[in-house]
Amino acid sequence: MADVARVAVVGAGLGGLAAAARLAALGHDVTVLERSDRIGGKLGLLSVDGHSFDTGPSLVTLPSVYRDLFAATGGPLEESLDLVRLDPAVAYRFADGTQLAFPGEPAAVPAALDAALGAGAGAQWSALMARAERMWQVSEGPFLRAPLAGAATLARLARRPADVATVAPWQSLRGLGRRYLGDPRLRTLLDRYATYSGSDPRKAPAVLATVAHAEQAHGSWYVRGGLHRLARAVADRAVEHGAVLRTGCPVRRIVLAGGRAAGVELADGEVLAADVVVSDADAAALYADLVPPAPTAAPRRALARTTPSLSGFVLLLGLRGRTPGLAHHTVLFPADYDAEFDAVFGTGRHAGAPQPVADPTVYVSAPDDPALRPDEDSESWFVLVNAPRHEPGRGVDWNAPGLAASYADRVLDVMAGRGLDVRDRVRTRVVRTPADLERDTGSVGGSIYGTSSNGARAAFLRPANASPVPGLFLVGGSAHPGGGLPLVTLSAEIVAGLVGPA
Ligand SMILES: Cc1cc2nc3c(=O)[nH]c(=O)nc-3n(C[C@H](O)[C@H](O)[C@H](O)COP(=O)(O)OP(=O)(O)OC[C@H]3O[C@@H](n4cnc5c(N)ncnc54)[C@H](O)[C@@H]3O)c2cc1C
């Protein structure tokens, strides 16, 4: 595109903000329209009783992706944000009582695994990580950093038979784990990476082992002051380049003229003319509600063949006192991980009837950060368990009276049973269910990552960044290449490339 385009961005999640920053830096005339009264979307912040909490992401991976974004839009990331590398990356506790502090530095991983799980565990994991690194090399450029282009993308990926064998598209993540990992605790570790895209390891493709590789090789990071600062810093970049951010502006529909995107209509009837519309709204909501059905039949059909990603049940806990020896991230595994995926997706023993997980994996993020606590003798914890989506009538109705509070009690009991008993230290407790996530961010059913990676074809059914409507582009976690902060940031890079400079 040679001329300055008027760009309307729908939604100020990280995807929308990163697209706005890049497109404004390319010289376009950008307006961001956010329906809620704050920016960040899932990358949100909540402050209660002097405690502050990131309400969504708590882990930053692939920092080079954000460094690229900041370099492309002005000064280096470090001028805006203080990224801290975590070590250990995660403290794991398994159902048999084994504790494993997973090192933040890759060189230390094999010895830590041998020490915690027994001799040979480190070598098994290293062999798997070597394979995952090869998968990463094969898939990163042609898949993660390029627009999804149907058969052309497949052809790009399948150019060399050796690459296809490396990625093994027919194999599940669980299957890959069985091949490389003899220790069931290591297999549980690997399975967990399926949940980074909201998926079931029994159905997600083996190539998701790249998530484990990327995290291990490039580190687990925290943004001092809270991850929400990433959203603020990207928003600042957009504004520095002239973008206008408008909150409290729900977009009611995308306006089409002559078959092209021609602007957006807000809920109050105001119409903003635009040459390009970039939607950061959940793709399922975009295609269901914001654009007419006829020109978008193909992506709607594709979406109907996907499994939505799982959601999350969140407890934000303001605690009195400090927990000695607590890592930044702790994961408490249950005895039966498969029961969790059956409950969340309504499969196996819960066929057709998803339900809150009775004995869930519990993830605790407890940043040691003075910016997030009222005084030195308190802590602000983010606690997350995987949860089925909000689907009243068909699945779980998270608004059912009493459910949220009783399930929150249940999660606290599970934590206590696994050695983290904070029940008598709770000063503040905020419960956020999948229904809250849907209400606050517009993600359908509260799915965290758009569509899941369940199934070998899932990645190719995810909505492409270029919609069938000329001038309408999709950014964010429900579009290609997928959910999670780094992929969302890459989606903005892809969209900026598709739109081009002014
Ligand atoms: C509990 C939780 C934990 C997570 N943990 C991690 C983690 O540790 N690491 C990680 O990398 N990722 C994590 N994620 C995922 C990550 O938060 C998301 O992938 C990412 O923030 C999504 O960004 P987005 O721009 O795609 O969408 P969103 O953040 O959902 O933003 C979409 C925005 O669009 C707005 N919008 C929607 N419809 C309209 C409309 N019609 N008009 C105007 N505005 C509209 C919404 O209000 C929202 O602000 C987590 C998410 C959650 C919920």
Q: Over the stretch 28-57, which tens digit does the pLDDT of each residue have?
A: 999 999 999 999 999 999 999 999 999 999
- The H or E element spanning position 428 is strand 426-432
Of all protein residues, whose CA lies closest to atom 31 belonging to ligand 1? 13
CB 52 within 8 A of CB 380: yes
CB-ligand 1 contact for 235 (6 Å cutoff): no
Of all protein residues, whose CA lies closest to atom 1 belonging to ligand 1? 56
Of all protein residues, whose CA lies closest to atom 26 belonging to ligand 1? 476
Residue 2, pLDDT score: 52
Centre of ligand 1 from the C-alpha of residue 54, in Å:
12
Centre of ligand 1 from the C-alpha of residue 231, in Å:
11
CB-ligand 1 contact for 485 (6 Å cutoff): yes
Measured CA to CA, the distance from residue 429 to residue 178 in angstroms comes to: 40
CB-ligand 1 contact for 490 (6 Å cutoff): no
Q: Is 256 helix (H, G, I), strand (E, B) or coil?
A: strand
CB-ligand 1 contact for 13 (6 Å cutoff): yes
Residue 191, pLDDT score: 98
Of all protein residues, whose CA lies closest to atom 48 belonging to ligand 1? 41
Pocket residue to mutate for ligand 1, from 34, 42, 53, 193, most atoms within 8 A of Cβ: 42
Measured CA to CA, the distance from residue 343 to residue 352 in angstroms comes to: 10
- Strand 276-279, strand 6-10: pairing: parallel
Beta bridge partners of 257: 260
Residue 18, pLDDT score: 98
DSSP structural state of residue 464: P
CB-ligand 1 contact for 447 (6 Å cutoff): no
Centre of ligand 1 from the C-alpha of residue 416, in Å:
30
- Strand 472-474, strand 276-279: pairing: parallel
Measured CA to CA, the distance from residue 229 to residue 82 in angstroms comes to: 9
CB-ligand 1 contact for 35 (6 Å cutoff): yes
Helix axes 121-139, 184-192, angle to 10 degrees: 30
- Token output for 1: 């595109």
Residue 275, pLDDT score: 98
Q: For 71-174, where are the E strands, in sequence order?
A: 83-85, 90-93, 99-102
Centre of ligand 1 from the C-alpha of residue 127, in Å:
34
Centre of ligand 1 from the C-alpha of residue 478, in Å:
9
Q: Is 317 helix (H, G, I), strand (E, B) or coil?
A: strand
Measured CA to CA, the distance from residue 464 to residue 65 in angstroms comes to: 20
CB 30 within 8 A of CB 23: yes
Measured CA to CA, the distance from residue 334 to residue 358 in angstroms comes to: 10
Other beta carbons within 10 angstroms of residue 271's beta carbon come to 13
CB-ligand 1 contact for 437 (6 Å cutoff): yes
Q: What is the pLDDT of residues 266-309, one digit of tens each?
A: 999 999 999 999 999 999 999 999 999 999 999 999 999 999 99
Q: Which residues of the chain have pLDDT under 70?
A: 1-2
CB-ligand 1 contact for 201 (6 Å cutoff): no
- Token output for 241: 């380049």
Measured CA to CA, the distance from residue 319 to residue 290 in angstroms comes to: 42
Centre of ligand 1 from the C-alpha of residue 476, in Å:
8
User: Given strand 244-246, what is the order of strands in its sheet?
Assistant: 244-246, 29-33, 6-10, 276-279, 472-474
Helix axes 209-218, 121-139, angle to 10 degrees: 100
Centre of ligand 1 from the C-alpha of residue 437, in Å:
9
pTM equals 0.97
- Could you tell me which residues come within 8 angstroms of residue 187 by beta carbon, excluding any fewer than 6 positions away? 174, 177, 178, 181
Buried b (16+ CB within 10 A) or exposed e, 435-474: bbbbebbbbbbbbbbbbbbbbbebbbbbbbbbbbbebbbb
Residue 371, pLDDT score: 98
- Could you tell me which residues come within 8 angstroms of residue 115 by beta carbon, excluding any fewer than 6 positions away? none
Measured CA to CA, the distance from residue 432 to residue 323 in angstroms comes to: 23
Q: What's the mean per-residue pLDDT of the chain?
A: 96
Of all protein residues, whose CA lies closest to atom 35 belonging to ligand 1? 11
Centre of ligand 1 from the C-alpha of residue 160, in Å:
36
Residue 494, pLDDT score: 98
Centre of ligand 1 from the C-alpha of residue 436, in Å:
13
- Token output for 436: 């809250």
CB-ligand 1 contact for 223 (6 Å cutoff): no
Of all protein residues, whose CA lies closest to atom 2 belonging to ligand 1? 56
Of all protein residues, whose CA lies closest to atom 6 belonging to ligand 1? 57
CB 256 within 8 A of CB 50: no
CB-ligand 1 contact for 434 (6 Å cutoff): no
Centre of ligand 1 from the C-alpha of residue 14, in Å:
7
Helix axes 485-499, 14-25, angle to 10 degrees: 30
